[in-house]
């Protein structure tokens, strides 16, 4: 049994008490996924001698994931900037810092979310992406004004969850295409 002075939190309370560090970790993971896709996405040039038919060559030239072109373009830089700003705002909120630095981080988040909204939408989950950026824009504006209430926290969490959903969907492999023309001898 727990003694009177024991201050252990129940498992659910522990998660609630550590929500911001968990969220910051998730943002960092999403940022690393984006950077990995950008860094290792390849040159985008098809091989000079594709093996098989013209259809195989066309399939080899296509993107490996649903959003690889989107994640490799300037949109990745915008998404990375939004994730960085989101981490700064959440860190400031968690630390209880509501000074000039926290307000500046909120203003940067709002500005970067607005810029990302003006950019190209992802090929998958575009509505989710737009809603997430709008939530982050509102949260950044709120933080820039020094308002760190429950509404701002909800907007930050919703925006972060939306970005994670979009990057996850954009990073899904493209299903393999089957040949419309059967090969001779059933091969």
What does each of the 187 residues of the chain score in pLDDT, given as a tens digit?
Answer: 455 555 665 666 666 677 777 777 777 777 777 767 766 665 455 444 444 444 444 444 444 666 667 777 777 788 888 888 888 888 887 777 777 888 888 899 999 999 988 988 887 788 888 998 899 899 889 888 888 778 888 888 888 888 888 877 777 665 656 555 666 665 5
Task: Give residue for tokens 């080899």.
Answer: 60
Which residues is 5 bridged to in the sheet?
none
Check if the beta carbon of residue 163 is closer than 8 Å to that of residue 147.
Answer: no
- Please give the pLDDT value at position 60: 44
Q: Which tokens hold the place of 23?
A: 């969220």
- Please give the pLDDT value at position 179: 58
Domain boundaries, the chain: 19-38+66-172
User: How would you class 111 by CB atoms within 10 Å of its CB: exposed for 0-12, middle for 13-18, buried for 19 or more?
Assistant: middle
| Alpha-carbon span 79 to 133, nearest angstrom | 10
How many Cβ atoms from other residues are within 10 Å of residue 148's Cβ? 20
- Please give the pLDDT value at position 9: 55
Nearest to 119 by CA among 166, 154, 156, 161: 166
Check if the beta carbon of residue 101 is closer than 8 Å to that of residue 144.
Answer: no
- Please give the pLDDT value at position 85: 87
Q: Which tokens hold the place of 179?
A: 């040949």
Residues 136, 85, 164, 29, Cα dihedral to 10°: -160
- Please give the pLDDT value at position 119: 85
């Amino acid at each position: 049994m727990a003694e009177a002075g024991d201050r252990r939190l129940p498992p659910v309370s522990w998660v609630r008490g550590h929500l911001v560090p968990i969220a910051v970790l998730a943002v960092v993971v999403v940022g690393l996924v984006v950077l990995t896709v950008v860094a290792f996405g390849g040159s985008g040039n098809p091989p000079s001698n594709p093996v098989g038919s013209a259809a195989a060559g066309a399939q080899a030239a296509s993107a490996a994931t649903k959003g690889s072109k989107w994640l490799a373009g300037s949109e990745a830089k915008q998404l990375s900037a939004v994730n960085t700003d989101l981490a700064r705002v959440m860190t400031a909120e968690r630390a209880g810092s509501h000074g000039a630095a926290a307000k500046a981080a909120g203003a940067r988040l709002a500005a970067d979310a607005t810029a990302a909204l003006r950019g190209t939408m992802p090929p998958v989950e575009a509505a989710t992406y737009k809603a997430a950026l709008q939530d982050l824009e509102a949260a950044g504006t709120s933080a820039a004004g020094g308002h760190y209430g429950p509404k701002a926290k909800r907007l930050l969490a919703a925006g972060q969850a939306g970005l994670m959903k979009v990057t996850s969907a954009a990073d899904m492999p493209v299903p393999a295409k089957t040949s419309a023309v059967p090969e001779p001898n059933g091969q």
